[in-house]
Chains A and B, each alone.
Chain A
Amino acid sequence: MLLQQILNGIVVGASYALIALGLNLIWSITDIADFSQGGTYVFAAYAAYFMVTLVKMPFVAALLVGMVVGGVLSYLFERFLYRRWTGLSRIQLLCAIALFFLMANLAIRFWTAKPKIFPAYLKGSLKFAGVMLSYQRIVVVAVAAVLFVIVYWFIQKTKMGKAIRAASQDREAAAVVGINIHTVNSVVFVIGGILSSTAAVLISPLYSVFPAMGDLPLLKSLVVVILGGFGSVAGVLVGGFGLGLVEALGGVYISSAYQHGFAFIVLILVLLFFPKGLFGKV
């Protein structure tokens, strides 16, 4: 029972960490708490759902379609909206929230509020030591791990990654030495969109696809960013998995009704003692 809950927590935590990694990148580079990722999440999930059910695509292809949808949406928002207000972070935040509501409500309008069942792409599960872990859940953790390694490699080893790191330290100085800040912004937004849509498509077969599906993952991933601290990959991992575990264990041993409220209590407690997050550099 305990081990089972820990495993469930790790799976949920992996999805939080995945979204939070993108949010953290965007937030630390452009100073935008990008709520619109919550909407991108929903659209990517629906795109993949229709690819699987209507077009009869294999799951991997549908996942790629979802990732493209997420990346493109994120790119468009940055290019045509956020970029207008560079430096005016209040307006950018309001715009992000408006986009989040807009997309969730468009999803209701287009596809109704009724949850849609995403067909399982991988049946069966792993049984050991009295616990059961479906293969689909293992895939969530595995893909998250691979993406974490890729993003880490990209940021540490490539030229663009170097530019991103430079921009996160000092935008003006980076611009002075010839780094194109607009390109950096576009790249982090595309990465963010891809990461959150991947989480959406991987999680969809475990639960279902519905317009409000992005609300809680978005809020909790934002909490993970705050908990972990600005620009900290380790913080994202610790925050994501930590929150996943707290929710899974708290949901069973404390109260299932308040499962989604634990994140807020954890947030307030951590902020009381660590106002800059657990691993905050700033």
Chain B
Amino acid sequence: MSSQTLQAKSRRNPLVTLIILAVVLVVMVLVPQVFSGYITYVAVLAMLFAVLAGSYDILTGYTGPLTFCHGAFYGIGAYTSALLTLKAGFPFWVAFPVSGAAVFLFGALIGYPALRLRGHYFAVTTFFFAHFVYLVILNSVGLTSGPLGLGGIKPPEGFLGINFAGLKASYYLVFIYGVIVIVALWLFIRSGVGKLLVTIRENEELSEAIGVNTSFYKVLAFSIGAGVAGLTGSLFAHFFRLLHPTTFAWMTSEMVVIMSLVGGLGTLIGPIIGAGIVTLILELMRFAPELRLIIWSVALIAILIIEPRGLMGLVQRIRGGRK
């Protein structure tokens, strides 16, 4: 039953959900119009992390295996896209899908051998993989400039008179990207394949027994999550226009895990809300950077003790739902 403990099952009134969703969307649209540049910037970061956490949920939340390398795929996507535009002269609009596809394939390449491992073997391997990617980015100085960081990345090329060098335009680009991806992930989860993934999570042996090719679907879920992380990384690269290896050190992967747990794994909306909350608090704590990780580590342990299903689990408990 251990796989179920981290997942919250939600039963909401669809009308209330729709109203909340509409309000959130309107607020998000208004952010760059109402608030200062700094807040808009934080909101972009939160949206990128929301997509990351949402895509993380496909494998870890819906299919089961815990991974600790989502930040690595994010980093590979960012560097792939930046290098394609800088060194190969690709326009952003080509480099963006190409880096997503590349990271998708890369995810399959890593996922195929690694997902044959059960339980913690797989988790530890992904943890090490994240560190390995960081080492490669840091040490491939000729390609990535290593610890100096990779600068000079261009913003996405404008069209129809929109110039993505500006903060507002790129905010809306990230916003539209986020909405499209999250709707796509939601549709994917509700599709037949999505239901199969949940079946695998609930009972892998049984799924195999009824003829489901579980390893194929696990690798697929892993690769889809990786591909979305890659796309998000590409957007990140062309929004901030400066990449540094430490942005993709294992702490980023860990933050994605924490965000997902804060919100509630296996709910899609939970990790997205979690990403927003965590990004916001991280920014508020910018004055004490060395305290941030201490507080988040303690918070993570507290979440595990109080409600491992995160906020969504808490909401459900308050409503008196099934425990």
Contacts and interface: CB of A to CB of B under 8 A. Distances in A.
Interface residues of B, number: 41
Given A93-B66, A93-B120, A97-B254, A106 B114 contact: no
Given A33-B123, A99-B297, A268 B5 contact: no
Given A222-B124, A258-B139, A261-B136, A90 B3 contact: yes
Contacts of A95: 300-301, 304
A162 B78 CA distance: 53
A31 B304 contact: no
Given A95-B304, A219-B127, A261-B132, A109 B294 contact: yes
Nearest to A94: B304
A87, A105, A222, A258 — most chain B CB neighbours (10 Å): A105
B300 A88 contact: no
A105 B297 contact: yes
B117 interface: yes
Contacts, number: 108
Nearest to B134: A261
Nearest to A271: B113
Given A90-B3, A268-B114, A105 B293 contact: yes
A275 B131 contact: no
A33 B301 contact: no
Given A31-B119, A267-B128, 7 more contacts: A90-B66, A91-B5, A93-B120, A94-B304, A102-B298, A261-B132, A271-B116
Contacts of B136: 258, 261
Interface of A: 27, 31-33, 81, 84-85, 87-91, 93-95, 97-99, 101-102, 105-106, 108-109, 215, 219, 222-223, 226, 257-258, 260-261, 263-264, 267-268, 271-272, 275
Given A219-B128, A257-B139, A268 B113 contact: yes
B113 A85 contact: no
A272 B290 CA distance: 40
Interface in B244-295: 251, 254, 257, 261, 290-291, 293-294
A272 B111 CA distance: 11
A267 B139 contact: no
B49 interface: no
Interface string B295-311: 01110110011001000
B129 interface: yes
Given A33-B124, A91-B308, A271-B125, A109 B301 contact: no
Contacts of A88: 2, 5, 308
A237 B161 CA distance: 65
A260 B135 contact: yes
B66 A99 contact: no
Contacts of A222: 124, 127-128
Contact of A101 (B66, B125, B139, B293): B293
Q: Closest 7 A-B residue pairs measured CB to CB?
A: A102-B297, A257-B139, A33-B120, A264-B132, A98-B300, A105-B293, A101-B297
B200 interface: no
A226 B125 CA distance: 9
B93 interface: no
Contacts of B301: 81, 95, 98-99, 102
Contacts of B293: 101-102, 105
Contacts of B297: 98-99, 101-102, 105
Contact of A106 (B123, B131, B294): B294
A90 B124 CA distance: 12
